[in-house]
Amino acid sequence: MRARYTAFTLAHAPYLLTSWHPDTQPTEITVDTNQRWQGLNILGCTLGTQQDATGTVEFIARYKVNGRAHRLHEVSRFGRVDGRWVYINGDLAGDDPQYSMT
C-alpha cells in the first residue's frame, strides 16, 4: 500500500500497473498530476501474512487539488501473485467519492 501511495505521489503509472492484480489490471492508467498528495494513514489491515493469499488495507490518503483539500478513505483488497502482494480493487469508505486510487 505504501509503495502504491508513493507511486501516486510521483505519478509513476508504470509501477501502478505492475503492482495491480492481473485479473483486475487496466490496460493503461493516467495519474492526475494536479493532485498533490499530502499524507497516508494506514488504519488497519486484515490477514496479509506469509501464509495468506489475500488481505485488506484500510487507509486514508490526503491530497489537494487546486489548493482544495480532499481525502480518500478506502478499503483495498490485495492478493499474492508469484509471492508478491498486488492490488485487486477497493471500496470507498469515506466522504470523498470523487476519487479512487483504482
Secondary structure in 3-state letters for the chain: CHHHHHHHHCCCHHHHHHCECCCCCCCCCCCCCCEEEEEEEEEEEEECCCCCCEEEEEEEEEEEECCEEEEEEEEEEEEEECCEEEEEEEEECCCCCCCCCC
User: Is residue 64 a part of any domain in this protein?
Assistant: yes
Total of domains in the chain = 1
CATH label of the domain that carries residue 63: 3.10.450.50
User: Is residue 56 a part of any domain in this protein?
Assistant: yes
User: Is residue 35 a part of any domain in this protein?
Assistant: yes
At residue 47 the predicted structure's pLDDT band, cuts being 50, 70 and 90, is confident
For residue 83, what are the domain limits? 2-92
Q: pLDDT of 61-102, one tens digit each?
A: 999 999 999 999 999 999 999 989 999 999 998 665 555 454
User: Is residue 57 a part of any domain in this protein?
Assistant: yes
User: Is residue 30 a part of any domain in this protein?
Assistant: yes
User: Is residue 11 a part of any domain in this protein?
Assistant: yes
Residue 72 backbone dihedrals phi, psi, to 5 degrees: -110, 115
Sheet holding 68-81, edge to edge: 35-47, 54-65, 68-81, 84-92
Round to whole Å and give the CA distance between 47 and 57.
9
User: Is residue 97 a part of any domain in this protein?
Assistant: no
User: Is residue 99 a part of any domain in this protein?
Assistant: no
